Amino acid sequence: MTETTHNPQTIKLSIGTDGIIRLFSTEVEGLPVKISQCFPWSLPGRFISIRDEKDTELALINHLDDLDPDSQSALETILKDTGFIFEITGIVQLDEDFEIRVWKVTTPHGPRRFQTRLGEFPRHLPDGGLLIRDVAGDLFHISDPKTLNETSKKLLWSFLD
């Protein structure tokens, strides 16, 4: 693991008119960056990695409060736009196909279909919920597996203790 090159207290983040978030510091001026929410996903606003186009970590934000208010606002906007978590209200179908698990689920926003790697399992959250990251990096949340319908519970049973 390499050390980050920028101290979170000395950087500025800004979203340009093109919608791209950029990093400003004493070393760089307007460098386009991408944001990656680090584990645990159950702590939004904590442990956020700022990365360049080569996926090299430039800064690790332990907490949004480490940033100035304008940078906090820019980062929160990007996290909301790119870090949407789909709430699963039911599991319709769960199939395995060539090292991939295909999920067909229902959400408050309608049906969704996503894929996870065969060896990738939902993460148990401290509040009893489950969090699933698909192969594209999107997050799916089940707030309380016990409240799912019987079909969903049967499909999910292998993931529950």
Output the 3-class SS for 72-134.
HHHHHHHHHHHCCEEECCEEEEEEEECCEEEEEEEECCEEEEEEEECCCCCEECCCCCEEEEC
Please choose, from the candidates 143, 135, 130, the residue with its C-alpha nearest in 3D space to the C-alpha of residue 113: 135
The H or E element that residue 69 is part of is helix 69-82
Q: Compute CA distances 95 → 55, 113, 129, whole Å.
A: 32, 11, 22
If you count DSSP H runs as helices and E runs as strands, how many of each does the chain have, helices first?
Answer: 2, 13
At 2 the pLDDT is 43
Q: What is the pLDDT along the chain (161 residues), one digit of tens a residue?
A: 345 577 878 899 999 888 889 999 988 899 999 888 776 655 667 888 899 989 899 999 998 889 999 999 888 878 766 656 788 999 999 999 889 999 999 998 889 999 999 888 898 887 788 989 888 878 888 989 999 999 999 999 877 65
At 1 the pLDDT is 37
At 83 the pLDDT is 59
- Cα separation of 35 and 1, whole Å? 18
- Cα separation of 25 and 100, whole Å? 42
Contact 116, 100 (CB under 8 A): yes
At 125 the pLDDT is 81
Cα torsion angle, 33, 37, 43, 44, sign: positive
